[in-house]
C-alpha cells in the first residue's frame, strides 16, 4: 500500500520512467587517473553504451512511441556528441550526472562547485538549455549538492531513497522534487562485473537480472505508484538484455493504463497537482547538522 498516492494523467495506474545513466568510460578515467586512458577493455566496455546501445535503445523508443530520460556526465557528452544529438533529436531528456562521474562526497565544496558548473556549461553548449534534473554519480548527493541544484534552478533530484513515489525535498535554500531511486531497480548489482573499480559480482542471466526491476514494477502498478528503472546502456543495452526489456515493454504497454514519461514531464505534472492543492510528502534537510555523538 502507498499512502497518499499521486493521481496520474488520464487515470493511468502507474507512472513509469526508464532512466539510463550514460556513464560510458568515464568510470575508468576517474578511478584510474594515472593509466585509465590506456586500459582498453574497460574503455571499450564503456564505449559500447553511447555507440552501440544508445542507437538500439532509441530505435525501441521510436517504435514504441516512448520519450524517456537519460543522465550523462558532461565529459561523456563532449566525448560522444552523436549519441547526445540523437537523444535530443528524438525528444528525450538529458539530465546532469556530474562532469567525469566524480563522487560529490569525495570532493570538497569548492571543487564540487567547479565540476558541477563545468558540466552545466557542457549542457548549455550541447543541448542549448540547462538541465532540469540531476542524478548524483553513485547516488552520492550531499547537502552541498542540493544547494547547487536549488541555486541553479533545478526542478528535481533523482539520487535519494526516502519514499516509493516522488516527494519533496525542503532544504534551507529551497525546494526540489525527489524522483526516488533504489537499488532494487538498478541494473548495477545484477549485471556489473568491473574488477578495476571493485565490483566482482557474478553476472546474472538477462531475464533473472531484469526480474528484479520487473517485480518492482508489478508492486508499483498494483499500488498505483511510480516505477523507475535506473539502468546503464553498457549493461542493460547489451543485446540479450535489451531483447528481454523490449518484450517486457511490449507487454506492459499492451495493458494500456501506464504512463511512460520523462522525469521532466512527471515534474510538470507534479507542479500542476501542487497548483491544484495537492500536498506532497516532504523530507526536510539537512537530516543532521553534525556527526552523531556516541557515549
Residues that bind Zn ion (CB under 5 A): 21, 23
The answer to whether 220 and 13 are in contact (CB under 8 A) is no
What is the DSSP annotation of 158-188? ----S-SS-EEEEETTEEEEE----GGGBSH
Considering the complex, what minimum distance in angstroms separates the CB of residue 23 from Zn ion?
Answer: 4
256: which residues sit within 8 A by CB, 6+ positions away?
none
Output the smallest distance, CB 137 to Zn ion, in A. Answer: 5
Of the pair 21, 164, the CB lying nearest Zn ion is at 21
Report residue 257: phi and psi, to 5°. -115, 40
Toward Zn ion, which CB reaches closer, 148 or 258?
Answer: 148
Handedness of CA 88, 90, 151, 289 (dihedral sign): negative
Whether omega before 185 lies within 30 degrees of 0, making that bond cis, reads no
Smallest separation (angstroms) from Zn ion to the CB of 271: 27
**Cell 553498457 belongs to which residue?**
234
To Zn ion, the closest distance from the beta carbon of 190 in angstroms equals 16
Q: Which three cell numbers stand for residue 169?
A: 525535498
In whole angstroms, the minimum distance from the beta carbon of 97 to Zn ion comes to: 6
Amino acid at each position: 500500500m502507498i499512502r497518499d498516492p499521486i493521481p496520474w494523467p488520464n487515470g493511468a495506474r502507474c507512472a513509469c520512467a526508464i532512466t539510463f545513466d550514460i556513464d560510458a568510460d568515464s568510470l575508468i578515467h576517474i578511478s584510474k587517473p594515472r593509466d585509465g586512458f590506456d586500459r582498453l577493455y574497460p574503455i571499450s566496455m564503456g564505449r559500447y553504451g553511447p555507440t552501440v546501445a544508445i542507437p538500439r535503445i532509441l530505435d525501441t523508443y521510436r517504435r514504441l512511441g516512448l520519450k524517456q530520460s537519460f543522465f550523462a556526465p558532461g565529459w561523456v557528452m563532449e566525448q560522444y556528441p552523436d549519441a547526445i544529438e540523437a537523444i535530443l533529436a528524438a525528444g528525450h531528456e538529458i539530465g546532469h550526472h556530474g562532469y567525469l562521474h566524480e563522487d560529490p562526497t569525495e570532493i570538497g565544496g569548492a571543487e564540487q562547485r567547479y565540476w558541477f558548473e563545468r558540466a552545466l556549461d557542457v549542457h548549455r553548449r550541447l543541448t542549448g538549455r540547462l538541465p532540469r534534473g540531476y542524478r548524483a554519480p553513485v547516488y552520492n548527493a550531499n547537502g552541498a549538492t542540493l544547494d547547487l541544484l536549488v541555486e541553479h534552478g533545478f526542478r528535481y533530484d533523482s539520487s535519494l531513497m526516502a519514499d516509493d513515489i516522488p516527494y519533496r525535498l525542503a532544504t534551507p535554500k529551497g525546494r526540489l522534487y525527489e524522483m526516488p531511486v533504489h537499488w532494487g531497480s538498478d541494473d548495477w548489482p545484477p549485471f556489473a562485473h568491473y574488477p578495476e573499480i571493485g565490483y566482482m559480482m557474478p553476472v546474472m542471466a538477462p531475464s533473472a537480472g531484469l526480474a528484479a526491476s520487473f517485480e518492482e514494477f508489478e508492486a508499483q502498478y498494483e499500488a498505483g505508484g511510480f516505477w523507475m528503472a535506473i539502468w546503464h546502456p553498457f549493461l542493460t543495452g547489451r543485446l540479450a538484455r535489451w531483447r528481454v526489456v523490449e518484450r517486457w515493454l511490449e507487454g506492459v504497454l499492451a495493458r494500456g493504463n501506464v504512463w511512460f514519461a520523462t522525469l521532466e514531464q512527471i515534474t510538470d505534472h507534479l507542479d500542476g497537482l501542487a497548483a491544484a492543492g495537492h500536498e506532497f510528502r516532504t523530507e526536510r534537510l539537512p537530516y543532521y547538522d553534525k556527526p552523531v555523538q556516541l557515549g
